[in-house]
């Protein structure tokens, strides 16, 4: 059985990735890392009671990461796949952005990936196997106005991914990043009908992506056959960039 931890397990993308693994891989044991707002995550786990679990995880806390990884390793004996999916954004123009908006966004999107990767690497090195998939964003390479904090954090995730991939490649561990564009999750809830129409006009495919389409990429990068893919930054954006 493969042990898989997905952070941000209570959001649309985290839930979509968790469901994809549970439905596509009968050998997968999926742990959804959550801090609060657990109802949707609990509902998914209830559908797969033998292979799904929740684990308490505040992704900006080193201690919380160490505790969560220890819990999973105690239950499963190992942790094979980490999907660093948790994150947030607080958009504002840099000239008016307050310190807390900067710190909280960088912490939730970049510090969390650092703490998570550092927590799982020792166990993966012992097993001589591991798959890490870090969720960046199209904003890392095509940043919009008002996202200096978010774009900088996600660009940092890409750089961290590429550097770490080199450090652990000989241990049988791959580290890759995904750069989603517009995906149909709660992140697009701020768009009204007209805003959604305008956004789609900027996408060559003229539609938003679906969580399952991102999950399929995660699933591939986490599989045994993707062992020669590492340090990549894969865009999932319908052709925007």
150 is an active site residue: yes
Q: What tens digit of pLDDT does each residue of 76-93 get?
A: 999 999 999 999 999 999
Q: Which domains does the chain have, with CATH numbers?
A: 2-236 (3.40.50.720)
Q: Please, what's the largest Cα pairwise distance for the chain?
A: 52
* Active-site entry in 20, 150, 182, 228: 150
User: What is the per-residue burial (b if ≥16 Cβ within 10 Å, else e) of 121-147?
Assistant: bebbeeeebbbbbbbbbbbbbebeebb
28-34 and 233-236 beta bridge pairing: unpaired
Residue 198 pLDDT class (50, 70, 90 cuts): confident
The verdict on pTM exceeding 0.75 is: yes
pLDDT mean over 49-54: 95
Q: Which of 144, 142, 167, 112 is nearest to 233 (CA)?
A: 142
Nearest to 104 by CA among 58, 66, 144, 142: 58
Mean pLDDT of the chain: 94
DSSP string, 5-34: EESSTTSHHHHHHHHHHHHH-TTEEEEEEE
Instruction: Give me the helices (H) in 147-192, please.
Output: 148-168
Average pLDDT over residues 39-59: 95
């Amino acid at each position: 059985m493969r042990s898989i931890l997905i952070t941000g397990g209570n959001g649309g993308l985290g839930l979509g990735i968790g469901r994809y693994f549970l439905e596509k891989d009968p050998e997968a044991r999926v742990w959804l890392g959550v801090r609060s707002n657990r109802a949707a995550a609990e509902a998914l786990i209830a559908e797969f009671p033998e292979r799904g679990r929740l684990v308490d995880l505040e992704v900006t806390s080193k201690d919380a990461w160490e505790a969560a990884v220890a819990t999973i390793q105690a239950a499963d004996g190992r942790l094979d796949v980490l999907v660093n999916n948790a994150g947030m954004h607080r958009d504002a123009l840099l000239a008016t952005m307050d310190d807390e908006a900067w710190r909280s966004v960088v912490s939730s999107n970049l510090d969390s990936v650092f703490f998570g990767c550092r927590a799982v690497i020792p166990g993966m090195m012992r097993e001589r196997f591991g798959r890490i998939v870090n969720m960046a964003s199209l904003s890392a390479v095509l940043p919009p106005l008002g996202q200096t904090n978010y774009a900088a954090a996600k660009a940092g995730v890409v750089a961290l991914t590429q550097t770490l991939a080199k450090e652990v490649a000989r241990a049988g561990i791959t580290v890759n990043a995904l750069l989603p564009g517009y995906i149909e999750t709660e992140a697009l809830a701020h768009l009204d009908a007209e805003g959604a129409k305008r956004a789609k006009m900027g996408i060559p495919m003229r539609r938003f992506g679906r969580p399952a389409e991102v999950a399929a990429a995660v699933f591939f990068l986490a599989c045994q056959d993707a062992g020669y893919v590492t340090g990549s930054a894969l865009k999932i954006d319908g052709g925007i960039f």
